[in-house]
Structure 1
Amino acid sequence: MEDQQKSLGAQLEAQINAEKEQKSQLEGFKKTIPENFEERLTKMEVQQTSLQEALRRIPEDLEGRMDRMEKHETDIQKDIQTRMDTQRAALLDTLSLNFTKIVRPQFEPIGSRFFYIDSKYAYNWNTAVSTCREMGGYIASVKDQEELDAITAKLDNKRYWLGINNRASKGNYLSEASGKKAQFLKWRSGEPNNIEGNERCVELVGGEMNDDMCFRNLHIICQSDNEV
């Protein structure tokens, strides 16, 4: 009996010591765990979620950036093409303008411009227009009194067609060369009188202008440019 009691006492003491050691280990383990471990764990979970979301958005952002880059490149190409088209148009305009200023062999300097005077053959007004164009010029208009005096000094007493007419609109005299309103008009006394309502073309005779019927055959004056 005494031996049994000693054995039970030893077992009880061993159990108590084991519980103490377990408790001591538990306390030690608790000390190794930070007090804000749960808070830190929550922050780590939030950071992980944010990282996953950022990773998920990477393909979308990359695709968006590529789209913007492609659009920017397209805009640049359009801008370059527009500038090239503008420059090409300006160059063509300049070449066209210079071409109209090229002096044909038949034209002679009169005043500040070049003219061709045909005192040999006579044409109706429409044929006069086409004849000057075939020569590389235009049926002439006059820009001012000084030019009129210079041209008149080269003429005889014959009648000459000018490019001035009001065929498009009665009373609105235009230059066939420029398509604009005639810069200079010097009518004979009583002109324009539009006899029979059919005098729509302008002739030059004796240094003055007169409206006449366009079907009449007169001599012609051509100019090398289309500025007036």
Structure 2
Amino acid sequence: MQSYFLWTLVVLALLGTSLVSGAKDADHLVCQLPEGSLQDLQENLEARLNGTEGQLQDIQNTLVSLQESLRTLLAEKENRNPEPAAIQNIPPKFERILDRYFYIEHNLEVDWASAADICRKINGHLAALKNEEELAAIQLKLRNDWYHLGISDEGHKGEFTSVASGKPAVFLKWNDESPENAGKCVQLKNGGFMGDYYCSERVNFICQLDTDV
């Protein structure tokens, strides 16, 4: 799109040069032509001027159209990947993944309760995911086999709740063995599936910054 604007500027510059050159030529002709030809010359110059004004109007219309196209493209980009809700003082360990902030712990392996406590200490919450797109984006960043998520059916068998929002989990993608209800805490497998396992199992974990999901 930048090339359109550059070409437009070039055209305007050429037109400006043409107008200046035309004015100089007109002065020269006025001095040399007999009086009877001045009217013809004036009509000729007016015709050229009218043609130039038409060209300038076409260029202006093109610029307006380009501006509208640019606004449309920017709006579409913003709608596809909106800015996350304003969060003050984002902790240094968190990174933006799509429209939310996460911290993925790759080294430390702890039980589910310890993972939830660590997330709280860094001003976050043990994470829950909201859709397939978010799962795919996080999946690309995983290094190990299993990660604790902030989803559990503790106290409500079979009803899996997000610890961050306190609401039912909005997205679950079970493996073939789950939910088996033997375990209470949900883990994410590096492979894109979730399972419910014992909360005492020591694995890595994922934190989120918001409480929306």
TM-score normalised to the size of structure 2?
A: 0.58
**Match of 1:149, SS?**
helix
Distance between the aligned counterparts of 1:170 and 1:154, measured in 2? 31
Spell out the pairing of 1:1-228 with structure 2 (5 A cutoff): 102-195=89-182, 199-205=183-189, 206-228=191-213
Distance between the aligned counterparts of 1:152 and 1:217, measured in 2? 20
Give the root-mean-square deviation of aligned CA atoms.
Answer: 1.5
CA shift for structure 1 position 131:
0.2
Give the number of the structure whose residues are more often helix, by fraction. 1
Distance between the aligned counterparts of 2:180 and 2:100, measured in 1? 30
Distance between the aligned counterparts of 2:181 and 2:156, measured in 1? 13
> Aligned residue for 1:64?
none
Distance between the aligned counterparts of 1:122 and 1:166, measured in 2? 22
Distance between the aligned counterparts of 1:142 and 1:127, measured in 2? 20
Structure 2: which amino acid aligns with 1:210? G
CA shift for structure 1 position 194:
2.4
The alpha-carbon distance between structure 1 residues 102 and 207, as it changes in their structure 2 partners (threshold 3 A), is: farther
Q: Is the 8 A contact 1:161 1:202 kept in 2?
A: yes
CA shift for structure 1 position 98:
5.9
CA shift for structure 1 position 102:
4.3
TM-score normalised to the size of structure 1?
A: 0.54
Moved over 6 A (4+): none
Q: Is the 8 A contact 1:102 1:224 kept in 2?
A: no
Larger Rg: 1
- The superposition leaves residues 106-155 of structure 1 with CA deviations (integer Å, 9 ceiling, x where unpaired) of 10011211100111001100000000000010000000000000001100
The percentage of aligned residue pairs carrying the same residue is 42
**Match of 1:156, SS?**
coil
**Match of 2:133, SS?**
helix
Number of equivalent positions: 128
**Match of 2:137, SS?**
helix
Structure 2: which amino acid aligns with 1:219? N
Q: Is the 8 A contact 2:106 2:144 kept in 1?
A: no
